Structure formats: C-alpha cells, structure tokens
Structure 1
Amino acid sequence: MPLSALEKMKSGDWYSCLDPELEALRTAARAAAFEHSTTPPDVRGNIGEKLRALFAACAGDARIEAPFHCAYGVNITLGKAVFLNAGCVVLDSAPVTIGDYAMLGPNVQIYCADHHKDPELRQQNLERAMPVTIGKNVWIGGAAIILPGITIGDNAIVGAGSVVTKDVPAGVTVVGNPARVMG
C-alpha cells in the first residue's frame, strides 16, 4: 500500500504538499496561531492554549510574542525559557527543536520544506521535509532565515538578517547572506 503524503512528509520522502490531510493539519495550525495572535496578552499568557496543545512539546515557561505563524505546529518542540519575538514564522513540515534558553528575535523565519529543483516536479508541488535543530542558549537576531536541514549548535549567535544555509558550530557567531563565521 502506498504511503500517504503525511507519512512521506514524516519520513523525509518527496510528497505533494497539496493533500487534504495536510491541509486539515495546516487549517488547525492557522486557527491555533490566530487564537494566540488575537487573544489579549494578559489573557493569553506566554502561549495561547490551542497553540500550546498543538506543539509536540513545550516547556511551561516558553514564550511566543504575537503575531506568530506555523505550518503545522505538531512538529515544534520548545525547551525551557525559549523566547520567540513578534512575527516569527516556523514552517514545520519536519521536526523543529529549539533548545533551552534560546532566543529568537522579531521576524525570524525557520523553513523545513525543500522544494524540488526539477521545474516539472516542482509544478507537481513536490517537496521534502528536513528538520531544523537549534541548540541551547542560542541567540538568533531579528529577520534571520534558517533554511531546511540546518543545525545550530549550543551557545551560537546568528546575526540579524543572516541567511543560514549551512550548519552552525557550537559557540560561534555567524553573520551575512549566506551566514559565515565571524573571524
């Protein structure tokens, strides 16, 4: 029996993102993000109730400022005291793990979807999901973009506006487009 699009997505195989089961999951994520982003902060707390329930795992003291957007939510894990500033976008078609005490500035974007390079296959909406892992005590400056399959090591810093195209070793600072270790 052939694998469903969701099963292919979870296994890292090529799949069509235009699938009714995946659309239902995205609809639930949009509703949870909408609730989070439109509930007054003193009522919402650190993370809206529906959004917190959607995540794979989320420490009680993790905080997300509004607005926030995620593709599915179910693939997001937030460690202790994680902070995502306003405007963050997490396109979590694969697991996105953000370690304890990590801080993401405003408008940081994390992408897991890798679209097919062949234009004919791209027209078929084929993509694959590649995980993103952000270590403990990482600081990611505002408007940085983290591409699919990236790992950022513990205690690293990603400068504002950087585009991270390669793994970042622990304890280093990267800046620029593409992001490079500061020397």
Structure 2
Amino acid sequence: MKEFEKMISGRLYSPADPQLEAYHLQRMALCQQLNQTSLLDQTKVNQLKEELIPSSKGQNLGLFLPFYCEYGSNIHVGKECFINYHCTFLDVAPIRLGDGVMLGSGVTIATPCHPFLPQERLAAHYPDGYHDLEYAKPVTIEKNCWICANVTITGGVKIGAGSIVAAGAVVTKDVPANSLVAGVPARVIRQLDEKDRINVWQTYQENETPRSLREKERG
C-alpha cells in the first residue's frame, strides 16, 4: 500500500514519504488560497471550496472562512451542512458529516494519533530513513447534529444523529443519538425530546422570545 492509503485506512504511515509530503503541501496551499480569496468573489470562493473539499460539490455546503484542514479530500459532507468561522479539520483519517450537520465557530476535529511511548512517538532511524510513524482514526458525525462553538472531537469518535454537543466540550468517546452532551471530557446530560420544542414558526410569527416547553414548565 502507498503511504496515503495506509494513512486513511488507520495503519501506521510515514508522513515523510516524498509523494505524501508533496500532496500534503499542495492541499494545505489550496486551503491557504481559499482563505486568502476575497469574500466578494463568491464564484472563486465556491470554485476553491469544491476543489479543496470535492465531496461538497452540489451539496450546498455553507463554509465561513477562515477554515483550516490538512487534505480536504478526506472530508466527506452530506447535504446542507454548515461550518462556522475558524474551524479546523485535521483530516488525516476520513471525517464524515451527515446531512444537516451544523458546526459552531472554533470547532476542532482531530483524527491524528501518535504512539504513547516517547521512544515510539519520536522520529527515529528506520531502514527507509529518519522519520516518525503516525496513525489516525476516523470521525463520523451523523445527520442533523449541532456541534457548538469551540468543541474538540478526537479520533475514533462517532456522534449519533440529532445530537447536540455543548460549547467547549471535548468529545473522546461515542455519543448516542438524540443526546445532549457537555463537559471535559464530554458526558451525556440527557436525551432530547418533545419538551425541547419551541414551535419556531408560531414563535417567529408572534415575535416572542423562544422558550421550550421544558423552560416554560420551570417558570
């Protein structure tokens, strides 16, 4: 297997491989170019966005710049996703966003992993040269999740459909569907249910402050 194939499949790989290193730099340069493009030139912004994240073509991805990633080609988005300012996707392993996923500003999704022991983690002399060996674990966020501002999601995590991750949480393990999670490390606070409904259209039409049934019951 080539180093790129090893990398995205979760095997140990060498980031110093010349072919992989060249591709890595090319993709990061493309990300840099996107971030330096004027927002007034939306045609160019959309062109570069689809070049950086090929899966976004035709999916109506909302992306507020700046946005940072390592490859972009390892990001797989569904329909109508939204990514707010200053998000960072370390997409060494695949990152998958289901339909309707919303990410607040400053979210970090970090798939890379390193060996725990220093003598295995640091660069060393191997038969093919002096370098380190790394690996990565994928992240999946299923449809209709809301990941709030400044959340960190680590490699190997799957967040179930319809869940909310509260601002500032650090998610290190799987999240069940329709859950509200918060904290460092993140833990399940409760399940989301009909008491969370705020009747958005009626509330909007009546120009009222949004309050869920749960909030109204509290007085």
Residue in 2 that maps onto 1:136: 143
3-state SS in 1 of match to 2:88 = strand
Q: TM-score, structure 1 length as denominator? A: 0.92
* 1:39 is aligned to 2:46: no
* 1:109 is aligned to 2:93: no
Aligned partners of 2:21 and 2:105: how far apart in 1?
27
Unaligned runs of 5+ in 1: none
Q: 1:23 aligns with which of 12, 21, 24?
A: 21
1:139-178 matches, cutoff 5 A: 139-178=146-185
Which structure's CA Rg is the greater one?
A: 2
Give the partner amino acid of 2:87: C
Aligned partners of 1:51 and 1:21: how far apart in 2?
23
Give the partner amino acid of 2:144: N
Residues 61 and 81 in structure 1, CA contact (< 8 A), matched pair in contact too:
yes
Residues 37 and 45 in structure 2, CA contact (< 8 A), matched pair in contact too:
no
3-state SS in 1 of match to 2:134 = strand
Q: Which moved more, 1:49-58 or 1:141-150?
A: 49-58
Aligned partners of 1:67 and 1:47: how far apart in 2?
11
Residues 46 and 62 in structure 1, CA contact (< 8 A), matched pair in contact too:
no
Residue in 1 that maps onto 2:214: none
Alpha-carbon distance change, 176 to 45 in structure 1, aligned in 2, over 3 angstroms: farther
Q: Which has the higher contact order (CA 8 A, sep 6+)?
A: 1
Give the partner amino acid of 2:89: V
Shift of residue 20, structure 1, vs aligned partner: 2.0
Higher-helix-fraction structure: 2
Residues 31 and 52 in structure 2, CA contact (< 8 A), matched pair in contact too:
no
1:109-128 matches, cutoff 5 A: 109-124=108-123, 125-128=132-135
Alpha-carbon distance change, 137 to 47 in structure 1, aligned in 2, over 3 angstroms: farther
State the Cα RMSD in Å.
1.7
Unaligned runs of 5+ in 2: 124-131, 191-219
* 1:73 is aligned to 2:72: yes
Percentage identity across paired residues of the two chains? 41
Aligned partners of 1:151 and 1:49: how far apart in 2?
30
3-state SS in 2 of match to 1:69 = strand
Shift of residue 45, structure 1, vs aligned partner: 5.5
